[in-house]
Structure 1
Amino acid sequence: MLLQHAEPATGNVSNARSEVPVYAWVVFTLTVGLLLSDYMSRQVLNAVFPMLKATWSLSDARLGSLSSIVALMVGVLTLPLSVLADRWGRVKSIALMASMWSIATLGCAVSASYGQMLLARAFVGIGEAAYGSVGVAVVLSIFPARLRATLVAAFMAGGALGSVMGMALGGAVATQLGWRWSFGAMACFGMVLVVIYVLVVTEKRLMPLSVASGGQETGVRERMRVGALLKRLLSTKSVACAYVGSGIHLFVPAALWAWMPSFLNRYYGMVVGSAAAGAAVLVLVTGLGMVVCGNLTDRISKDASGRKWNCAIVYCAIAFALLMVGFQMPHGTLQLVLIGGGMFFSAGATGPSGAMVANLTPPSICASAFATLTLVNNMLGLAPAAFVTGVLADRIGLLGALQVVPFAALIALVVFAVGKRHYQGDLERVKVLREQASA
């Protein structure tokens, strides 16, 4: 079987280019806007965990499964749907995906049981499955390569901001109108954004930007067999470590995003609205950390790309230390400050790992490479985080479970250290292969 992949133009781009067309920023804004809707639809659930627990008498494991099922669907389907998006057209695929997750979120609002809610949440995940990889491929295709880590981090930080909005607005709406209206509000927001995106963004308008950025047109395709594609996606030890390290380190923020509203509700006595708002602030801190860490990584590694690995290692170490100490502290302001500090760095390796994947894979398979990254991020981090933490919470309490979570950052640190050891040699091999391919 043959697969087709669009050329997203992330490879041979002049670092000297200083100006970016205004329309590129418009596309970036709208694409991130849909990412906000994506995560608002995904994370509004966490804001109403206490209400759902009371309504259907659910265990923490079942609550966690409602969150994890979305990431599980994303992990399972991201690669095949990303390949289809490359073939069918990224803009049309984005519009279809956003429509699906918005309609599925509306389905959550009318669910009458845990089973119906679980099914609706699964369709939310199906709709969101390829959005991360396809959306970031669209963005990277129209910007200079020198902005990679910043763009990847900013794009992913949109997920954190969407989580903030989903938690804060969802909690506020639920307090006033009930949890069903929280899902309904997120669904309406997504549908409005889909209409705007379809009216403003087209493949035809993106094509000149891709060419101007130094790459090939989005309509140009490269055909290769499945085996060859997989071989190029996993061509080196260092790119495998970038995938795995990124996935494992995201277990930490995913678990904290899912359970912080419940943590504040149970241990600080906050009502649902206040707990959701407080958790939203901490999630916002995570998003801010993504952007700051991504930009800092670009600056530090400007003249030495290998420093990206050092940055990822340091971010994981700081997150582990602060969260370990924070969750051991007595409840109070100091505990929340330390937890907030740990959350700032908990997703800090997102930008560096994304940039390393881009550096170690050919530009012709950028969408598939980021689909692979998305798959690993979900299967190792985002999908199991809420469920595993919920299972632990049923056995040792939510606080005890959250005290275990930071060890994922320590494991990711080790994986990044292994990748750093092989990076320079792998980078040279990839460079030779690219030169041979272009000869």
Structure 2
Amino acid sequence: MTETTLIAGQVLQTHADPFSTPPEEALTVASGAVAVAGGTVRATGTLADLRAAHPDAAVHDHGDALVLPGLIDAHVHYPQTAIIASWGERLIDWLNRYTFPEEGRFGDPLYAADVAARHLDLALANGTTTTASYCTTHPGSVDAYFAAAAERGMRVVAGKTCMDRNAPGELLDTPRRAHDESADLLARWHGRGRAVYAITPRFTPTSSDEQLEALGALWAANPTCLMQTHLSEQIEEIAWVRELAPEACDYLATYERHGLIGEGAVFGHAIHLEAREVTRLRESGSALVHCPTSNAFIGSGLFDTARRKADGIAVGLATDTGGGSSFSMLRTMAAAYEVGQLTGAALHPAQLLWLATTGSARALRLGDRIGRIAPGMEADLLVLDLASTPAIAQRAARAETAWEAAFPTIMMGDDRAVRAVYLEGRRLEGRGADRTAGI
């Protein structure tokens, strides 16, 4: 018989999109509990009612802590884990000085396995239960990431990064190799356990038309996969794309003409969009991912979350490590709030938490499985201590609403706020989740 566990605290539940519904109606927080069994959420309600329904269930009572869906980091580069916080470069120089030399090391399967494990443990320690990662051009880097995620029981998205130009020779593949190696990896991993494959051209400057055409054909043949790439991150990048593809009407067109747009297409950054691109992204059902710490760290610009949501485009949130300067989605939410202030829209705490959970899940076409606490959803849960440091505690003590209590942790919290992490209802012990041990 499947054992049931009751996880109690202040439970966050999602009812609607807080960008189209008043935020405090779209998401609610109330004292309660979550019943989990067999890896999924079975019920929510008061602790008393769930105890009566499941008298033999184990109870993890987290008191005043916030129980919410595990955080979803919708755009990361796990091979850049070791070069996070590298000083002083913009995008193209960053790639040449730091990223490409580091990615060259991932031809060593042992090194790839070590960094994959390290990255996922850092994610879990910060309350992130799902990531969507670019790997390197080495197929072994993809195997390493999916294998490490499977060992931990994590749902992850990943794919072989494809490049056939404008990168060091040892990192280049060809249109045929990109297609065939991606196809082999897709067949090996997509849908196996909790793995989701993403066809992954890095971006137009490093993928020829021939390569993008081959990857578009692969996606057309495997539509349940995702497709992830970069779009309009920096002004210099856009100018480079114009030089490489002068016949294209805009940056998005370099992907669109090869079928790399539509539901399941996930575009990182997308800061400097033209009107036609906004229209086509909305019409096609493509998703964007906001990477605020990376956009600031590399000097890319300000993504206007409220405007893109008003445009009717799906938006997720991400650390973009290692261009991003933190593994913490709490810090990323704080940065998104700060960027929102600069673009004229102070995001509500409910909107920030939604972006890091339901919003990211929808962007990754996983909204039917993760990102909300509801019956039938996978039981990836995070418990946040809303008084994890003296500075946060003294501010939270004056809170008059649940949102006022949560906001100091969003703005000032880090891994010390992570009281517990659950994957498919199983509380983590050890590794990067040492802070979650104890019950």
TM interval, short-chain normalised:
under 0.3
Which protein is richer in helix relative to its size? 1
Give TM-score, length-normalised by structure 1: 0.23
- In proportion to residue count, which structure has more strand? 2
Q: Which has the higher contact order (CA 8 A, sep 6+)?
A: 1
